[in-house]
Structure 1
Amino acid sequence: MKLVHILSLGGFLLLLHISTADKILFLLPIASKSHVNVFAPMIRALGERGHEIVNLSPVKSPNMPPNVKQIQIYPIEKLFNSMGDPFEMRKMGKFNALFNGSFNNLMDSCRELIKTDTFQELAVGESFDLIIVDIFMNYCVLGIVPLLQAPSIMVSTFAAPPILANSFGNRLPTSFVPDWNLDYTHQMSFTQRLMNVISTGISDLIMRLMFIKPSEKIYMENLPNGAELPSVAEIQANASMLFMNSHFTINHPRPLLPDVIEVGGMHTRPAKPLPKDLDTFLTDSGEDGFIVFSLGSIVPARLMPEEFRKIFIRVFGRLKQRVVWKWETGEMPDTPPNVLIRKWLPQQDILGHPNVKLFMTHGGLLSTQESVYHGVPLLGFPMFGDQDMNIKQAETAGYAKFFEILELSEEKLENAINEMINNAKYSVKAKELSKLVRDVPQTPLEKAVYWVEYVLRHKGAPHLRSAARDLNFVQYYLLDVTLAVILITTSILVGVYLVLKRVAVALCGKKSSNKLKKQ
């Protein structure tokens, strides 16, 4: 009888938990695989805690709880096939690549997905307790937030740029916070600070004119009551929190308000056992160890220039180390005996292997975070976006070396690899940083889950908002007060000057009069 009562009580508590579970919408219909990987651990963890999740994403993540509903609207292949050749984009430079159609392709994708029946029904047919948005590429669907009338959390998949942080009243000093388009660190010379101010201003202007304003037009034209919807700036300023996929150890410390939270490294975890054949290949590398080579999920191997591929092959073939290379086709006819080609790699499990010596990467933030977590030095070949800054910051921190892919040659590549492997300072520094990243009271994932549920518990947590959200640029930096002080001070000085001048004139006049009288 007691067992029945216990089971009944357990069932009642389970039903109570389910009945009080919150419904959360994850809004990332346009995203790269790496962006999806930022969110997947948080979605899974919240689902396991009983929350009802609707995830709008271009990729369906594996191993999700049954209470996580994944809706795939816009195929990821369609989006990134239209983005162009990353090697050609690298030649153009960042700003030229943006003007060369990247924004236009993104806007076209936005128009297509927002018009779908699935998205339109979601905008008017469901209610949610919280909306979590991948803000970087999804401004065009942001109009759904005020329509659903739920608190929101914005997530930046890299250290938030000023244009985003400013909406939360968290203005970032350009004196030591570099623009994401530059490869500067937090320690800048006068010239670099000057260029950083200019670049930050240009980046903001481009984002507003080419991305944010067109995005507003898209959701205002295609969502119910669109003309009455607030602007992107207003929607962001009304958000409860901003999560940043950054960590002060990797991205350098910056001043943050209590509603701006660093959650970088949510996906990092201890290594799991490898498949037997892969484990054998890596373990048999012995004292010489092995190298991991991957250019991420949005740099397709098929687009690598053939002369580049041959350089890598020839250099790898001369190394003592073994190399495991992520190559999307999964095969390469001229592969040397010490090189293993795989279509997909369990990257974190490989980076956690005791024989790993070096990680050769494009410098995506997730890969950078994984290298630090597992204490592996990296050789970076940045391609676009924030990758230059990530690698430059890693190089300054002492665990990485920056390599310009467009200057690739056998001699330069072989020298760089040998330096990274034979100079212990890189490995030592990577392991030191690994200890720092792990020495935290909460894991990044635990922190993210806590603050999501905090916002739910406290109905949007408005008490965390700084009054700085309501101040414009002039007010925040006290330019109006400074002008007033200058005017008042100038008025006083002018007044004093005029008084002294009159006194001086009067005194001079009196002296002249006395002289005349004496005469």
Structure 2
Amino acid sequence: MNINALYFAVLFLIPYNVTALNILGIFPYHGKSHFIVFKVYLEELAKRGHNVTVISHFPQATPQERYHDISLSGTLKSIENNLPFRKSYITVLQMGLELTTSGKDNCEVLLANKAVQNIVKEKQKFDVMVMEQFNSDCALGIAYKLQVPVVGISSHVLMPWHYNRLGVPSNPSFVSFHFTDGGTRPTLKQKLERFVLDIYFKTIYYYISQRHNQQTLAKYYDDIPPLEDLARDIKFSLLYHNFILTGSRLFPANVIEVGGFHVKEAKPLTGDLLKFVEEAEHGVIYISFGSVVKSSTMPEDKLKAILESMAEMPQRFIWKWEDQTLLMDKNKLYSSTWLPQVDILGHPKILAFLSHAGMGSTTEALYFGVPIVAMPVSGDQPSNAAAIEESGLGIQLQIEDLTKENLIAAFKTVLDSKFRDKVKLLSKAWHDRPMSPMDTAIYWTEYAARYSNLTFRTAAADLPFYEYHNLDVIAICVVLLLSIGYSFKLIIFKLCCSKMKKDKNVSEHVRKSKISKRTKRE
């Protein structure tokens, strides 16, 4: 009996030992809302038997088997509840500068860490490296030193500087832009905004963040190739997209949509929150502007518009509010500095969601089929809000248009039974996949490790700008057309000259003939 038990134990362990990978995760950005998404994926890799070493600002509170933290915590202040509730061109431009300067800081902190230095110095063996694709390519230098294949992962839509390296079309006529409104149907004004802002963001990224990252890497290692070249060698890019929400995109085969893997099943509500929700005769509307936008900085007139809307609506409200101010009667409004958002959205009495349209919150609402009134503030939120409206998940209401009347009208729209039925159908389609988003993300991570010597990028990623946009062909065609036009003009000119010369000769001959005849008569 003991022999049989040992036999089966060995059989059980063999595939585990064969398939377990050593995975390095590098997440140097200090934004908590991003890591909330990545953490679920990294922990699942460890649960499935892989040894995962994670460099981040957010180490686990409770250690997990096969999950090893290298903590950057305390080196930079976590980005949480620090963005004001306003939207303008100035905030967009400031966002660009903040992204690039934080990219510099993230790289410096990452490379200065002694444990990170030891990984490179000791040439520790990893089968694959997973890194956040956001505001810094610094981690690619570490991957190069370790000679490990790279999988990029994001928690949002593509940044402007990621399109070229992945060979993804970024035509402003139909491709949403990270920081602006308009979605896939922009107006002429919005196209012009995208064109200008695309140049702005790419320029400051390449000349501030990426160039500084290259220089910082050079202080530690003298053989790092250009980071943009290394970026084109990323095996797979896991995007936190799903076409049900963001629409069909022209992605190459190595760009994989995995939107939704961070959402877990809702747990039952408890205590006063459960009582508040269960006793809501007309249901509940949930309000949250995420972990980055500080809703308590809302201008007084906008706050008044929301509170007056609440007073006129029969529903109860739950609001993530960052201070202890009593905004309204507790029988009408439940507010707290922290709320179990997934558990709230998963409750059947939650009828609608007033949101900043962050990708995490939007994905959670879609998961549970809760319609959204999207009020974007910054970052990818304008792009997400446009996708929310275009997909049918909800409607947009811009900050500048926030009035009591407009907000009540928006709530009534998404609370309509037909609208809610469409959102439930959308949610059903979102869930209906051949493979779950988590399984998809892990499969392609493991695939990159299994075939580390193969290249999966599209040829478009290697083309220079003028070839990608066929400018060389267009130039030749223009030259040919001009040459043909010039030749045709030259032929016409010569024919005309020949005819004029012939006519002149005939005229001269006639003139001489007349003179000759006149002379003879005389």
Q: Into which bin does the TM-score normalised by the smaller protein fall?
A: 0.7 to 0.9
Are the structure 2 counterparts of residues 255 and 406 from structure 1 closer, same or farther at C-alpha, using a change threshold of 3 Å?
same
**1:432 — aligned with what?**
425
The alignment status of 1:112 with 2:109, answered yes or no, reads yes
State the alpha-carbon separation in 2 of the partners of residues 470 and 102 from structure 1.
Answer: 26
Instruction: Give the TM-score normalised by structure 2.
Output: 0.87
State the alpha-carbon separation in 1 of the partners of residues 231 and 65 from structure 2.
Answer: 31
> Any idea what SS the aligned residue of 1:80 has?
coil
**1:168 — aligned with what?**
166
**1:236 — aligned with what?**
231
Shift, 1:357, TM fit: 0.9
The alignment status of 1:46 with 2:45, answered yes or no, reads yes
> Any idea what SS the aligned residue of 1:79 has?
coil
State the alpha-carbon separation in 2 of the partners of residues 240 and 148 from structure 1.
Answer: 15
**1:450 — aligned with what?**
443
Q: Is the 8 A contact 2:52 2:67 kept in 1?
A: yes
State the alpha-carbon separation in 2 of the partners of residues 134 and 271 from structure 1.
Answer: 27
State the alpha-carbon separation in 2 of the partners of residues 359 and 444 from structure 1.
Answer: 23
Are the structure 2 counterparts of residues 101 and 257 from structure 1 closer, same or farther at C-alpha, using a change threshold of 3 Å?
closer
**1:127 — aligned with what?**
125
State the alpha-carbon separation in 2 of the partners of residues 361 and 376 from structure 1.
Answer: 11
Are the structure 2 counterparts of residues 76 and 446 from structure 1 closer, same or farther at C-alpha, using a change threshold of 3 Å?
farther
Shift, 1:342, TM fit: 3.6
Shift, 1:34, TM fit: 2.0
The alignment status of 1:492 with 2:484, answered yes or no, reads yes
State the alpha-carbon separation in 2 of the partners of residues 52 and 8 from structure 1.
Answer: 25
> Any idea what SS the aligned residue of 2:77 has?
helix
Identity fraction in percent: 28
State the alpha-carbon separation in 2 of the partners of residues 196 and 441 from structure 1.
Answer: 35
Whichever residue aligns with residue 248 of structure 2, its letter is: P
State the alpha-carbon separation in 1 of the partners of residues 264 and 244 from structure 2.
Answer: 17
Shift, 1:483, TM fit: 0.8
State the alpha-carbon separation in 1 of the partners of residues 321 and 190 from structure 2.
Answer: 37
Task: Please give the per-residue CA displacement for 1:330-389, whole angstroms capped at 9, x wherever unaligned.
Answer: 784865223223443222222121111111222111111111221111122322101122
> Any idea what SS the aligned residue of 1:320 has?
coil
Query: Where does the alignment leave 5 or more consecutive residues of structure 2 unmatched?
Result: 514-522
Task: Please give the per-residue CA displacement for 1:269-298, whole angstroms capped at 9, x wherever unaligned.
Answer: 443333355334322224x01121222112
**1:178 — aligned with what?**
176
State the alpha-carbon separation in 1 of the partners of residues 24 and 495 from structure 2.
Answer: 75
**1:297 — aligned with what?**
291
Higher RCO (CA-CA < 8 Å; seq separation 6+): 2
Are the structure 2 counterparts of residues 328 and 195 from structure 1 closer, same or farther at C-alpha, using a change threshold of 3 Å?
closer
State the alpha-carbon separation in 2 of the partners of residues 311 and 53 from structure 1.
Answer: 48
**1:266 — aligned with what?**
261
Q: Is the 8 A contact 2:30 2:77 kept in 1?
A: no
Are the structure 2 counterparts of residues 368 and 77 from structure 1 closer, same or farther at C-alpha, using a change threshold of 3 Å?
farther
State the alpha-carbon separation in 2 of the partners of residues 170 and 99 from structure 1.
Answer: 21
Shift, 1:166, TM fit: 1.0
Instruction: Give the TM-score normalised by structure 1.
Output: 0.87
Q: Which moved more, 1:313-322 or 1:374-383?
A: 313-322
Q: Is the 8 A contact 1:274 1:350 kept in 2?
A: yes
Shift, 1:461, TM fit: 3.6
**1:465 — aligned with what?**
457
State the alpha-carbon separation in 1 of the partners of residues 310 and 340 from structure 2.
Answer: 21
Q: Is the 8 A contact 2:84 2:295 kept in 1?
A: no
> Any idea what SS the aligned residue of 1:229 has?
coil
Are the structure 2 counterparts of residues 310 and 494 from structure 1 closer, same or farther at C-alpha, using a change threshold of 3 Å?
closer
**1:72 — aligned with what?**
71
Q: Is the 8 A contact 2:106 2:136 kept in 1?
A: no
Are the structure 2 counterparts of residues 206 and 307 from structure 1 closer, same or farther at C-alpha, using a change threshold of 3 Å?
same
> Any idea what SS the aligned residue of 1:56 has?
strand
Aligned length: 510
Q: Is the 8 A contact 1:26 1:133 kept in 2?
A: yes
State the alpha-carbon separation in 2 of the partners of residues 509 and 359 from structure 1.
Answer: 85
Shift, 1:481, TM fit: 1.7
Q: What is the correspondence of 1:198-347 to structure 2 with a 5 Å cutoff?
A: 198-221=196-219, 223-225=220-222, 228-275=223-270, 277-286=272-281, 288-300=282-294, 303=297, 312=306, 315-316=309-310, 319-328=313-322, 332=326, 335-347=329-341
State the alpha-carbon separation in 2 of the partners of residues 62 and 401 from structure 1.
Answer: 38
Are the structure 2 counterparts of residues 484 and 412 from structure 1 closer, same or farther at C-alpha, using a change threshold of 3 Å?
closer
Q: Is the 8 A contact 1:29 1:72 kept in 2?
A: no
State the alpha-carbon separation in 2 of the partners of residues 272 and 201 from structure 1.
Answer: 45
Q: Which moved more, 1:60-69 or 1:238-247?
A: 60-69
**2:137 — aligned with what?**
139
How much is the aligned-residue C-alpha RMSD, in angstroms?
3.1
Task: Please give the per-residue CA displacement for 1:82-136, whole angstroms capped at 9, x wherever unaligned.
Answer: x95423x646733342377564355345423431212222333322111111121
> Any idea what SS the aligned residue of 1:78 has?
coil
Task: Please give the per-residue CA displacement for 1:237-276, whole angstroms capped at 9, x wherever unaligned.
Answer: 1111112111112122221110111111112344333335
State the alpha-carbon separation in 1 of the partners of residues 88 and 468 from structure 2.
Answer: 39
Task: Please give the per-residue CA displacement for 1:399-445, whole angstroms capped at 9, x wherever unaligned.
Answer: 32333446655555455445543x33542332232122112212221
Query: Where does the alignment leave 5 or more consecutive residues of structure 1 unmatched?
Result: none
State the alpha-carbon separation in 1 of the partners of residues 508 and 328 from structure 2.
Answer: 112
**2:520 — aligned with what?**
none
State the alpha-carbon separation in 1 of the partners of residues 374 and 76 from structure 2.
Answer: 25
